[in-house]
Amino acid sequence: MKRRHFLASTSAALASAALSTSCKGSQTTLRVYTWADYLDPELAKSFEAKNGCKLQIDTFDSNEAMYAKLSAGASGYDVLMPSSYMVKTLARENKLLQLDHAKLPNLSHVDPAYLKQALDPQMTHSVPYMMAPTCLAWLASKVSDPVASYTMFDRADLKGRITLLDDMREVLGAALRSLGFSINSKDPAQLAQARDVVRRWKPNIAKFDNEQYKSGIASGEFHLVQGYAGDLLQVADENEDIVVKIPREGTAFSCDDLCIPKDALSVDLAHRFINFVTDPANAAKNMEFIAYRAPNASAYKLLTEDFRGNEALFPPDEVFAKLEPIDDLGDALALWSKTWDEVKAS
């Protein structure tokens, strides 16, 4: 799965880039392997100052790229931030430490409603960091009679103005949900039906895309897109014509987690970092900076009213119940890949 960049300004990006050099001298270095622009620089500096350490931030742009790098022998990282399904893979392969909950008192703040759907509900190997659903977005001035539903992809009047994510888990997952199936289905018959749904949508779309949909809907090139909530809310904040909604059939949500690899060099400091970002005040500050939701119940009351009122990040209970975390496919990965190849080749 691909991930997106969060920062809108060059100055903020430069501040984030400075994280790896903000401490001097012989302090302990904590190496964090994460997505780009995924930690408030002020929080990073605060952690360094409190712990007399240096944060070194290395980035990846997909779970698969991170996994490939680790599998190729990359070592020395102290904290990883993969999505939950990749945490499950790493744990199954015995590549993660079990967390010491005695060193993580802030786990008491993690949202119990989220943990009911989490892939690691006991937080044995991971602590949830940030989450958001995959959404639909459209231009109110260009799309007549819109509904928050995957049926929008069947609309011939929007032909050539629609994009779907270039991601088999998201697109086949959306088709599965449109049929009433789980986004993590391993049933060959259900996947065949989902394939045929995407084939039906395909003539209406301009392309499968993970990046240009953001600028495309902002400029008016695209009228309806499937995308990640953080991206879409960012462009919607700058363009009031953009409407962002969770599909009524349900959708995928991804949660990126904090975990410690078995070969970590600074295990105690890694626990302190996880506990630090799970502190409610820090989690709230981080949410406002990143524009994603930390599953931290104690932090919610500290958020601005505008942020807390965003239904894409804080959907009603009946909508949240229809969201599914993307799960590890195990042996079914080959079947999914084959099905996606059939979609792309059609």
Q: Are residues 95 and 121 in the same domain?
A: yes
Q: Are residues 262 and 234 in the same domain?
A: no
234 domain residue, yes or no: yes
5 domain residue, yes or no: no
Q: Are residues 171 and 27 in the same domain?
A: no
Q: Are residues 232 and 216 in the same domain?
A: yes
**Predicted confidence band of residue 144 (pLDDT cuts 50, 70, 90):** very high
Whether the pLDDT of residue 117 is over 90: the answer is no
1 domain residue, yes or no: no
Q: Are residues 244 and 304 in the same domain?
A: no
> pLDDT, tens digit, for every residue of 86-116?
999 999 999 999 999 999 999 999 999 899 9
Q: Are residues 124 and 136 in the same domain?
A: no
**Predicted confidence band of residue 264 (pLDDT cuts 50, 70, 90):** very high
Looking at residue 188, its pLDDT comes to 98
With pLDDT > 90 as the criterion, what percentage of the chain qualifies? 74
331 domain residue, yes or no: yes
What range does the domain containing 326 cover?
132-252+319-345
Q: Give the residue, 316 or 31, on which the prediction is more confident.
A: 31
Q: Average pLDDT, stretch 144-156?
A: 97
4 domain residue, yes or no: no
> pLDDT, tens digit, for every residue of 268-277?
999 999 999 9
Mean pLDDT of the chain: 90
Q: Are residues 199 and 335 in the same domain?
A: yes
**Predicted confidence band of residue 295 (pLDDT cuts 50, 70, 90):** very high
Q: Are residues 20 and 127 in the same domain?
A: yes
218 touches 212 (CB < 8 A): no
Whether the pLDDT of residue 22 is over 80: the answer is no
Three-state secondary structure of the chain: CECCCCCCCHHHHHHHHHHHHCCCCCCEEEEEEECCCCCCHHHHHHHHHHHCEEEEEEECCEHHHHHHHHHCCCCCCCEECCEHHHHHHHHHCCCECCCCHHHCHHHHHECHHHHCCCCCCCCCCCEEEEEEEEEEEEECCCCCCCCCCHHHHHCHHHCCCEEECCCHHHHHHHHHHHCCCCCCCCCHHHHHHHHHHHHHHHHHEEEECCCHHHHHHHHCCCCEEEEEHHHHHHHHHHCCCEEEECCCCCEEEEEEEEECECCCCCHHHHHHHHHHHHCHHHHHHHHHHHCCECCEHHHHCCCCHHHHCCCCCCCCHHHHCCEEECCCCHHHHHHHHHHHHHHHHC
Domain count, the chain: 2
Whether the pLDDT of residue 11 is over 80: the answer is no
3 domain residue, yes or no: no
Q: Are residues 199 and 168 in the same domain?
A: yes
302 domain residue, yes or no: yes
Q: Are residues 184 and 299 in the same domain?
A: no
148 domain residue, yes or no: yes
Burial 1-29 (b: 16+ CB within 10 A, else e): bebbbbbeeeeebebbeebbeebeeeeeb
Whether the pLDDT of residue 131 is over 80: the answer is yes
> pLDDT, tens digit, for every residue of 84-93?
999 999 999 9
Q: Average pLDDT, stretch 321-335?
A: 90
Q: Are residues 136 and 103 in the same domain?
A: no
Q: Are residues 123 and 239 in the same domain?
A: no
> pLDDT, tens digit, for every residue of 47-57?
999 999 999 99
* Token couple for 233: 């809310």
Q: What is the CATH number of the domain that holds 248?
A: 3.40.190.10
